Amino acid sequence: MNFWKRRGDEAATAQTMQLRDRERHPYAGLRSFTPQRGGELRLYQAVREAVPVVDAAVCKLIRLSGGALVFCEDPETEKRLRDFLERVPAGRGQYGINAFLEQYLESLLICGGAVGEMVPAAGNRDLAALLCGRMDRIELREGESPLDFQIFGPDERGRMAALPYQELLLFTPLHPEAEHPYGVSLLRGLPFMADILMKIYNTVGVNWERCGNMRFAVTCRDGDGNAAERGQLLASEWSRAMQDTRSGSVRDFVAVGDVDIKVIGGDAPILDSQVPVRQVLEQIVAKTSIPPFMLGLNWNSTERMSAQQADMLTTEITAIRRTLTPVVEQICRMWLRMQGETAAFRVDWEDINLQDEVEEAKAELYREQARKLRIENDAAEGTK
């Protein structure tokens, strides 16, 4: 018993935080608040809605992340836990931990953070639902240590107050920075590029609308004194010819004298948008970490380059899974605690695709071949 007491005392002294903020502020309560900028989140959502490539990249990252699998030491507990994870309501008519993680991951990628809630059932013996919240509706307040923070939300009167049951809340930042507890959106840095892309597309649309709906300039060069009457006559005849053309009939326009007809703006060349659009899309694709061929971009790439891009995508998905694993563990731990279970468990993920299994099998084959050659060489050297 004395040994455990000593270990507990050592653990208590080891929990003293070294990285503390020495600066003091007269309004310490206000200073500890770190409100998230709602305008920034709406801007990221607008970028996703305006640029189809960004929306496709976010959806593919969510789908490629796959589903979570849970393994327990006790087979009966594992079966019950898996049944709960498959059938738990996730809101808006969706069920299962995978549906919850899709909503959670979408908020994580777009907003740079995700917040959720574990809703207990009556009697606190089970979890009734897993719900996702909106990041623009919450605020974080840091405590005295970097490990201490609280989630604030609007109360019945609309004022920001600490939510009463913090242990039932889920929060995950994406690539958090040291200056604030919020994460960083995947789309940070893209609004400027998206603005340029939208300007190019809007200009292309205006130019094609101008070229498709052609306007003509009819010039009559006549030296006699009835130029005004001749101009009115030409204008009426030209208007009648254009109206007949809209109805589907063909009508020729005949004029007497020196008449010049030109298309307004026909001599102005349309700027080539292929090069600037590709340059902007390259920046956007580089930010999303999705290979271009998966987004419908037919850019030149060799087979080796495609394999390297697939490996980078696998690494990106693995990093996303590492970020989501603590959330799944927290949910499983809360459910087991409510059930009175103490069985150990671990969270695993589904394989990304069959290509990864093939590459892993090839790597294992190469390692075994190298091991065989090493043994043969050692045996040959030993006989000499």
| Residue 38, number of CB atoms within 10 A of its CB | 12
Separation CA 152–CA 159 (nearest Å): 10
User: Is 154 within 8 Å of 365 (Cβ atoms)?
Assistant: no
3-class DSSP assignment, residue 124: coil
Separation CA 215–CA 238 (nearest Å): 12
User: Is 273 within 8 Å of 200 (Cβ atoms)?
Assistant: yes
Tokens describing residue 123: 């009697």
Separation CA 350–CA 75 (nearest Å): 19
Dihedral of CA 252/255/256/259: which sign? negative
Ordered alpha helix ranges (H), the chain: 2-14, 28-31, 38-50, 52-64, 75-87, 97-111, 190-212, 227-246, 274-288, 303-339, 354-383
Separation CA 182–CA 135 (nearest Å): 10
List the end-to-end C-alpha distance of the chain, in Å, as a whole number. Answer: 62
| Residue 63, number of CB atoms within 10 A of its CB | 10
Query: What is the secondary structure of 58-107 as a DSSP string?
Result: HHHHHHHT--EEEEESSHHHHHHHHHHHHH-EEETTEESHHHHHHHHHHH
User: CA angle, 53 as apex, 328 and 301 as ends, to 5°?
Assistant: 100
Residue pLDDT tens, the chain, 384 long: 443 444 444 444 444 444 444 444 444 444 454 555 667 888 888 899 989 999 999 999 998 888 899 999 889 999 999 999 999 999 889 999 999 999 999 999 999 999 999 999 988 889 999 999 999 888 888 877 777 888 999 888 888 899 989 999 999 999 888 777 788 899 988 888 888 898 888 888 877 776 666 666 667 766 565 666 766 777 777 777 777 666 666 666 666 667 777 766 666 666 778 888 889 999 999 888 888 878 888 776 555 666 777 778 888 899 999 999 999 999 999 999 999 988 899 999 987 764 555 566 677 788 888 998 999 888 888 766
Torsion region of 200: left, alpha or beta (phi above 0 gives left; psi -120 to 50 gives alpha)? alpha
CA atoms within 13 A on the CB side of 206: 8
Q: Is 343 exposed, middle or buried (0-12, 13-18, 19+ CB in 10 A)?
A: middle
State the residue for tokens 């000593």.
6
Tokens describing residue 133: 């919240």
C-alpha separations of 157 from 24, 133, 153, 250 in Å: 31, 19, 11, 71
- For the chain, the structural domain boundaries read 29-188+282-378, 216-263
Question: pTM for the full model?
Answer: 0.72
